[in-house]
């Protein structure tokens, strides 16, 4: 193995500076524009494991959002009772929203409040 090998790159250690505790399974912004899913509960100021690759179900979705399988999604940081929620690619981004950090693994329909996404690191931009 190469002497400079670090890891597979699927999980990163992330320090929670959000001001609130993060629940296991919650979507978080890592740095400016990468999305991840907390693998453990992470108290404010603590460090914990966050997946930056993979497929996750039951993540918050804007209820009116409608999207097709494979569609690039917008992560609306202010939706979902303040924890953020995924919206369709036609949504107008606001300050801090992340576009392209995930795609729809399963199509999303009107009135659903959760969805299944695939994280796509390295493909996102932040408004």
What is d(CA 10, CA 59) in angstroms, rounded to the nearest whole number?
A: 18
Average pLDDT of the chain? 95
| pTM for this predicted structure | 0.94
pLDDT, tens digit, 9 for 90 and up, residues 101-127: 999 999 999 999 999 999 999 889 998
State what percent of residues in the chain have pLDDT above 90.
91
Decide: 28 and 52 in contact? Cβ < 8 Å: no
pLDDT, tens digit, 9 for 90 and up, residues 47-60: 999 999 999 999 99
Q: Is 110 exposed, middle or buried (0-12, 13-18, 19+ CB in 10 A)?
A: exposed
Beta bridge partners of 2: none
């Amino acid at each position: 193995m190469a002497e400079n090998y670090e890891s597979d790159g699927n999980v990163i250690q992330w320090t929670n500076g959000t001001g609130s505790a993060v629940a296991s399974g919650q979507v978080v912004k890592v740095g400016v524009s990468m999305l991840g899913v907390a693998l453990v509960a992470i108290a404010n100021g603590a460090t914990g494991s966050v997946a930056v690759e993979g497929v996750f179900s039951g993540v918050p979705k804007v209820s009116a959002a409608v999207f097709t399988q494979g569609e690039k999604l917008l992560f609306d940081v202010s939706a979902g009772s303040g924890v953020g929620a995924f919206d369709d690619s036609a949504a107008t981004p606001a300050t801090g929203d992340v576009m392209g950090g995930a795609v729809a693994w399963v199509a999303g329909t009107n009135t659903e409040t959760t969805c299944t996404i695939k994280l796509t690191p390295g493909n996102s931009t932040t408004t």
